[in-house]
Structure 1
Amino acid sequence: MEYKVNCGIWGAMFGVPVIVADNFLKLATGDQIKVLLYLLRCSGKICTSEDISANTGVTVQVAEDAVLFWQQANVITPQGTISQTASNSIMVQPQPPESISTPPALASQQQPAAAKLPDHKITLSGGEIAAIMQDSQDIRDLFKVAETIIGTLKNNQMNSIIWMYDHLGLKKEVIIILLTYCASIEKTNTAYIEKIASAWAENDINTMEAAQDEIQKRNAAKDYILSIMKKFEMNRRPTAKQAEFIEQWKNAGFQLELVHYAYEKTIEQINKLSFDYINKILLSWRDSGFMTVQDVKNAENDFKKNKKGNSSKKDIKDADMEGYESIINQFLY
């Protein structure tokens, strides 16, 4: 189904930063999106937390948490201070595109020597974490935003966030995107988050754009796996070895239809699911220049046509089978 926006029925309009549509439609919560839309609508004007709550239907606390989320994600920037009284007032402007990716700043440059954060191998006590929070506004903000994403933080989660920020040097907005992504796939255990964080740091994924590109790749890989499972009629997740095959097929550019066709031929030949057999068929087709189902079918038809008129019907049938096998699985003989 196709959709078309009828702009003619609208009056005044306001803009939404492209980065929101590109990076946060899947990651941000509905309440966070609602708050952002209202803030953008009030761009240049002062509005209170109560105003946001009344016009979006979220609570005052949710409104304040959402504002902090967008500020830490560098989507909006406050013009002035946010009061801690009941009459909190906020005036925001969309963050200019050129300032979305802020220059990296090491925690050691931002904090006093007495508050230098230790290596991740050292587990901080509650008192040590409290001391670090007192000296670091960034850590306080990260904790507050993290709680809106994954819930009340435990000591090990606080240690993990401190480690990601200081030891790995990941920017605040990158950590927020990482936590939001993990929450979206319901994998918020510390070990999983730290595994991704380590990979991002190692591969220099430390800007909002780079983090979103990585998430899109992960989502595409997940969708490809789910599609393969559906086409192979699998009722369980692929094993590690099977997942390697699927990743190879995706990276090689094999269309899902071609992989499914190879699956069908595998069932016809050996009457069972074999990733190794499917992989050999796909590689054989690729080596023969066949990259679509139609390519394979055309080759099969051409072979049959070339055999007609040169043999008896029985010979043709036998030759066709022999030729067919040579096309799809000559590697086995």
Structure 2
Amino acid sequence: MEYKVNCGIWGAMFGVPVIVADNFLKLATGEQIKVLLYLLRCSGKNCTSEEISANTGVAVQVAEDAVLFWQQANVITPQGTISVANTTPLIMQPQPVEVPEAKTALAQVQTQPTPSKLPDHKINLSGGEIAEIMKNSQDIRDLFKIAESIVGTLKNSQMNSIIWMYDHLGLKKEVIIILLTYCASIKKTNTAYVEKIAFTWSENDINTMEAAQDEIQKRNTTRDYILSIMEKFEMNRRPTAKQAEFIEQWKNAGFKLELIHYAYEKTIEQINKLSFDYINKILLSWRDSGFMTVQDVKNAESDFRKNKKGTSSKKPENDTDMEEYESIINQFLY
């Protein structure tokens, strides 16, 4: 079904940065989107956190966390601050699309009167060391606050992890935010998993909002493909590493899910069990024979049956004739 928006019936309108639609519709929470829409509607006007809350139905603290989220994601920039009493007005303006380079917390620490070199993450920073870093780094304080709004109260290991990603891997604030939001969306926020992705991104120079979003889109596509395969194969557990390799190969080769499912059905018919290796041999043989759709395979089977019917003697279909059919059709099945 296709949809078309009729803008003319609404009268006055306001703009939403393209970067929001491209990068945050899946990642941001409903409350964060509501707060952003209200701020964009009030562009150039003074807004207090209470006004944001009253007009969006979002709690004051949640609204403030959402504002901070969009600031750190470089979507909006504040002119003014929110005071403890929540009475200082905000003037929110859209941020230019170009993302500025983020300074590291280490660089900020070094501008202080008593700079200190951060130890390696694997040494495990103590609570006192983390508190000192927070004292000297607004970026780290902001990251901690946003991280808590995404994953909940931070443990010492998670604080260590964020500092490590920011200072030692050099990932930008907005990239870390996107990473944490993605991990929360798939319910995998354990430190080891987050750090594994962070390290991969650092190694592959995925350190802009656009690059991070592209990588997440690829991961989501792969994840959806795997879930579809699991459904087609009636699997009750996640694929093993070897099985995941086969799935990745099929995805990269462009095999359609319907064809893979047909290969699965043929496998069950032949050996009465799920075998990724067996299915892979079938798919490769079909591809080598020029069959890339289920209909291609069925047409080949149908042609064989028609030709065989015209030349065979009258034998029971389940007798020698059927055995010969299976033998010949297997030449392109396997």
Whether 1:141 and 2:139 are equivalent positions in the alignment is no
How far, CA to CA, are the matches of 1:266 and 1:249 in structure 2?
Answer: 16
**1:6 maps to amino acid:** N
Q: Provide the secondary structure at the position in 1 that maps to 2:12.
A: coil
**Deviation at 1:210?**
0.9
**Corresponding residue pairs, total:** 327
Corresponding position of 1:325: 330
Corresponding position of 2:42: 42
1:186-205 correspondence runs (5 A):
186-205=187-206
Aligned mate of 1:102, from 84, 91, 100: 100
Query: 1:115–1:135: 8 Å Cα contact kept in structure 2?
Result: no
Corresponding position of 2:227: 226
Whether 1:25 and 2:30 are equivalent positions in the alignment is no
Q: Provide the secondary structure at the position in 1 that maps to 2:278.
A: helix
Query: 2:68–2:142: 8 Å Cα contact kept in structure 1?
Result: yes
**Deviation at 1:319?**
4.1
Identity, in percent, stands at 80
Q: Provide the secondary structure at the position in 1 that maps to 2:274.
A: coil
Corresponding position of 2:13: 13
Q: Provide the secondary structure at the position in 2 that maps to 1:121.
A: helix
Query: 1:44–1:91: 8 Å Cα contact kept in structure 2?
Result: yes
Q: Provide the secondary structure at the position in 1 that maps to 2:280.
A: helix
Q: Provide the secondary structure at the position in 2 that maps to 1:92.
A: strand
**2:264 maps to amino acid:** Y
Q: Provide the secondary structure at the position in 2 that maps to 1:111.
A: helix
Q: In the TM superposition, what whole-angstrom CA distance separates every residue of 1:160-190 from its partner, at most 9, and x where no partner exists? A: 1000000000000000001111111111111
**1:21 maps to amino acid:** A
Q: In the TM superposition, what whole-angstrom CA distance separates every residue of 1:113-137 from its partner, at most 9, and x where no partner exists? A: 7233221122111111111111111
How far, CA to CA, are the matches of 1:295 and 1:203 in structure 2?
Answer: 40
Q: Provide the secondary structure at the position in 2 that maps to 1:27.
A: coil
1:73-152 correspondence runs (5 A):
73-97=73-97, 99=98, 101-112=99-110, 114-152=115-153
Q: Provide the secondary structure at the position in 1 that maps to 2:263.
A: helix
Whether 1:211 and 2:216 are equivalent positions in the alignment is no
How far, CA to CA, are the matches of 2:138 and 2:119 in structure 1?
Answer: 17
Query: 2:48–2:82: 8 Å Cα contact kept in structure 1?
Result: no
Query: 1:258–1:293: 8 Å Cα contact kept in structure 2?
Result: yes
**Deviation at 1:26?**
1.3
Query: 1:308–1:316: 8 Å Cα contact kept in structure 2?
Result: no
Query: 2:49–2:82: 8 Å Cα contact kept in structure 1?
Result: no
Label 1:324 to 1:96 Cα distance change in 2 as closer, same or farther (>3 A): same
**1:74 maps to amino acid:** N
How far, CA to CA, are the matches of 1:106 and 1:47 in structure 2?
Answer: 30
Runs of 5+ consecutive residues of structure 2 not aligned to the other structure = none
Label 1:62 to 1:311 Cα distance change in 2 as closer, same or farther (>3 A): same
Deviates more, 1:143-152 or 1:237-246: 237-246
**2:40 maps to amino acid:** L
Q: Provide the secondary structure at the position in 1 that maps to 2:189.
A: coil
RMSD of the TM alignment (CA)? 1.8
**2:6 maps to amino acid:** N
**2:33 maps to amino acid:** I
**2:333 maps to amino acid:** I
**Deviation at 1:316?**
5.7
**Deviation at 1:104?**
4.8
Q: Provide the secondary structure at the position in 2 that maps to 1:294.
A: helix
**Deviation at 1:307?**
3.8
Query: 1:307–1:319: 8 Å Cα contact kept in structure 2?
Result: no
How far, CA to CA, are the matches of 2:92 and 2:246 in structure 1?
Answer: 49
